[in-house]
């Protein structure tokens, strides 16, 4: 199967895991992925005292200064210690209001050490006046830690009001002058600085919406990069290779909920000293590849079992719609045919009929396994009652460490035969389900998931439950499939290296 992983992602993975034994690497990746799922990304708002950091946080959270949960604001310094606020839309993102730079308590000589910049992942530098040495000091300290930042020029409404008193005032020219000054100063440090001109009092004007949209769009990639750096810093602290002057990040990370204590213990037991020092490229390569990994779902059944109509139902199409899978009335599917999932761009649905030919006891086991192994997940379609081919297929899939659901189609027809279609069919469905379960368990099928559906009555029976279960299980299923695919790729590369040596 072609193109499950993009060429550029595959190249990064091969480079990142060069010389690695795939078994240990996959165990480490699994722990890293689990930790990433619970990892909280911390965005720190920093800048000089009175620059409007707290007001910006309130605006991003959709709050006014009078709201009970708002960050305190005022004409005197109100933030005396880093204070955390939950992002209103993303549960894994926290906004930290840092004390302002330039007060007697937080001078440029002690600010970074007192705050401990190593605790935070991304920075938003807020400045309410023209560029100063203190702003560049913050930029240098952030870049020293290889972290990302956005630069926000706040309170531009105040500057426009003051400039408006001058002869020849043009609002657009003043705003452009502010932007150019910030960009010119920042370009002495980075190539492409991101600068936003805002007023927290007028969020509908200037760059506030651009800032918010840019931040939200960038969050997935920023979190991947932040997590890689966090693992690298964590490894330095765990194995005692950090500077004696560098403050610990572990106590704060556990106490604030940035990472779970059980994840820390798993990292300690799974990784060795060298493994995490280059964790950033490894983990980032894997996370990026996972984002673009193509997940292949096999909808597989015997000839005439209704796989094509079922795929159309999953895609929200009628059999006669343009782009629908071909059915008996439009010319049946003979070869495996792929269709895009309408909601998940990285998911492909494969229409596979003639299961009786694929799962043929007379064929070589290796040939059958190889043919079945092309797919990541299986919807085993039954139109009457599960037979030996269905049972055998489930055994092969389980042997490949992959998952499957049993889907009983044409349940409306079955109920009609029993003259229950116009009555309360709940008890009949439960009886069918129990018989189904008893039959499969009797064949040693381990805890099967069974859905009784009709491709033509999507609002009845188990169709909605199947759709919801697939949606909930999809992230885990994709990750498991990705891990198996990476294992196969690394195993092949390891065998190729062994052959070259011989």
Q: Please tell me whether residues 106 and 50 are part of one structural domain.
A: yes
Q: Please tell me whether residues 148 and 200 are part of one structural domain.
A: yes
The pLDDT score that the predictor gives to residue 450 is: 87
Q: Please indicate, yes or no, if residue 301 is contained in any of the structural domains.
A: yes
The pLDDT score that the predictor gives to residue 423 is: 58
Q: What is the mean pLDDT of the chain?
A: 82
Q: Please tell me whether residues 210 and 63 are part of one structural domain.
A: yes
What mean pLDDT comes out for the span 424-434? 77
The pLDDT score that the predictor gives to residue 347 is: 94
The pLDDT score that the predictor gives to residue 485 is: 85
Residue 267 has pLDDT above 60, yes or no: yes
What mean pLDDT comes out for the span 401-407? 91
Q: Please indicate, yes or no, if residue 347 is contained in any of the structural domains.
A: yes
Residue 471 has pLDDT above 70, yes or no: yes
Q: Please tell me whether residues 9 and 118 are part of one structural domain.
A: no
**Tokens representing residue 380 in the block:** 């085993």
Q: b/e map of 461-472 (b: 16 or more CB within 10 Å)?
A: bbbeebbeebee
Q: Please tell me whether residues 426 and 454 are part of one structural domain.
A: yes
Q: Please tell me whether residues 338 and 479 are part of one structural domain.
A: no
Q: How many domains does the chain have?
A: 4
Q: Please indicate, yes or no, if residue 466 is contained in any of the structural domains.
A: no
- Dihedral of the alpha carbons of 256, 228, 486, 37, in degrees to the nearest 10: 20
pLDDT band at 403 (very low <50, low <70, confident <90, very high): very high
Out of 23-32, 119-128, 222-231, pick the least confident.
Answer: 23-32
Q: Which helix (H) or strand (E) holds 125?
A: strand 122-127
The pairing of strands 83-86 and 93-97 is: antiparallel
Question: Any idea what the CATH number is for the domain that residue 127 is in?
Answer: 3.40.50.300
Residue 50 has pLDDT above 60, yes or no: yes
Whole-structure pTM over 0.85, yes or no?
Answer: no
Print the domain residue range for 194: 41-222
Q: Please indicate, yes or no, if residue 243 is contained in any of the structural domains.
A: yes
Q: Please indicate, yes or no, if residue 467 is contained in any of the structural domains.
A: no
pLDDT in tens, 359-376: 776 666 766 778 888 899
Q: Please tell me whether residues 100 and 209 are part of one structural domain.
A: yes
List the one residue out of 232, 501, 178, 475 whose CA is nearest residue 346.
475
Q: Please indicate, yes or no, if residue 56 is contained in any of the structural domains.
A: yes
Q: Please tell me whether residues 254 and 308 are part of one structural domain.
A: no
Q: Please indicate, yes or no, if residue 96 is contained in any of the structural domains.
A: yes
DSSP 39-94: PPEEEEEEEBTTSSHHHHHHHHTT--TTSTTSPP--SS----S-EEEE-SS-TTEE
Q: Please tell me whether residues 361 and 488 are part of one structural domain.
A: no
Q: Please tell me whether residues 332 and 285 are part of one structural domain.
A: no
Q: Which helix (H) or strand (E) holds 151?
A: strand 148-153
For residues 482 and 291, what is the distance between their CA atoms, to the nearest angstrom?
A: 10
The pairing of strands 122-127 and 295-300 is: unpaired
Residue 6 has pLDDT above 90, yes or no: no
Q: Please indicate, yes or no, if residue 468 is contained in any of the structural domains.
A: no
φ, ψ at 103 (rounded to 5°): -105, 165
Residues 6+ away with beta carbon under 8 Å from 194: 150, 151, 214
pLDDT band at 75 (very low <50, low <70, confident <90, very high): very low
What mean pLDDT comes out for the span 232-258? 75
Q: Please tell me whether residues 11 and 98 are part of one structural domain.
A: no
Q: Please tell me whether residues 51 and 131 are part of one structural domain.
A: yes
């Amino acid at each position: 199967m072609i193109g499950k992983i993009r060429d550029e992602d595959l190249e990064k993975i091969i480079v990142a895991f060069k010389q690695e034994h795939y078994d240990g690497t996959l165990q480490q990746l699994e722990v890293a992925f689990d930790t990433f799922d619970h990892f909280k990304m911390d965005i720190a708002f920093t800048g000089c005292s009175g620059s409007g950091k707290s007001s910006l946080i309130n605006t991003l959270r959709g709050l006014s200064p009078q709201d009970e949960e708002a960050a305190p604001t005022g004409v005197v310094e109100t933030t005396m210690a880093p204070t955390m606020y939950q992002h209103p839309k993303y549960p894994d993102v926290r906004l930290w209001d840092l004390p302002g730079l330039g007060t007697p308590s937080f001078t440029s000589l002690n600010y970074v050490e007192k705050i401990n910049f190593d605790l935070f992942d991304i920075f938003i530098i807020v400045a309410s006046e023209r560029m100063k040495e203190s702003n560049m000091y913050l930029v240098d300290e952030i870049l020293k830690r290889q972290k990302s930042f956005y630069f926000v020029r706040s309170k531009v409404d105040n500057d426009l009001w003051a400039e408006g008193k001058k002869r020849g005032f043009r609002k657009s020219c003043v705003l452009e002058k502010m932007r150019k000054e910030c960009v010119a100063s920042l370009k002495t440090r980075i190539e492409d600085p991101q600068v936003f001109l805002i007023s927290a009092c007028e969020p509908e004007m200037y760059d506030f919406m651009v800032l918010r949209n840019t931040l939200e769009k960038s969050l997935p990639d920023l979190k991947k990069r932040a997590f890689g750096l966090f693992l690298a810093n964590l490894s330095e602290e765990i194995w005692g290779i950090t500077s004696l002057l560098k403050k610990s990040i572990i106590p704060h990370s556990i106490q604030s909920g940035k990472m779970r204590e059980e994840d820390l213990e798993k990292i300690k037991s799974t990784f060795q000293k060298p493994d995490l020092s280059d964790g950033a490229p490894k983990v980032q390569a894997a996370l990026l590849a996972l984002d673009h990994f193509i997940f292949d779902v096999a909808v597989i059944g015997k000839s005439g079992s209704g796989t094509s109509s079922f795929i159309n139902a999953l895609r929200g199409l009628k059999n006669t719609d343009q782009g629908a899978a071909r059915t008996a009335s439009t010319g049946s599917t003979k070869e495996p045919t792929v269709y895009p999932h309408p909601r998940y761009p990285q998911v492909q649905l494969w229409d596979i009929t003639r299961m009786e030919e694929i799962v043929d006891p007379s064929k070589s086991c290796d040939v059958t396994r190889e043919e079945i192994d092309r797919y990541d997940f299986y919807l085993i379609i039954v139109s009457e009652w599960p037979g030996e081919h269905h049972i055998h297929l489930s055994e092969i899939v389980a042997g490949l460490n992959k998952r499957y659901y049993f889907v009983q189609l044409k349940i409306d027809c079955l109920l009609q035969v029993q003259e229950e279609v116009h009555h309360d069919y709940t008890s009949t469905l439960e009886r069918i389900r129990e018989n189904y379960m008893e039959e499969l368990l009797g064949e040693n099928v381990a805890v099967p998931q069974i859905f009784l559906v009709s491709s033509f009555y999507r609002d009845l029976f188990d169709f909605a439950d199947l759709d919801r279960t697939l949606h909930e299980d999809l992230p885990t299923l994709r990750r498991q499939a990705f891990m198996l695919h990476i294992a196969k790729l690394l195993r092949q590369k390891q065998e190729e290296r062994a052959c070259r040596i011989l």
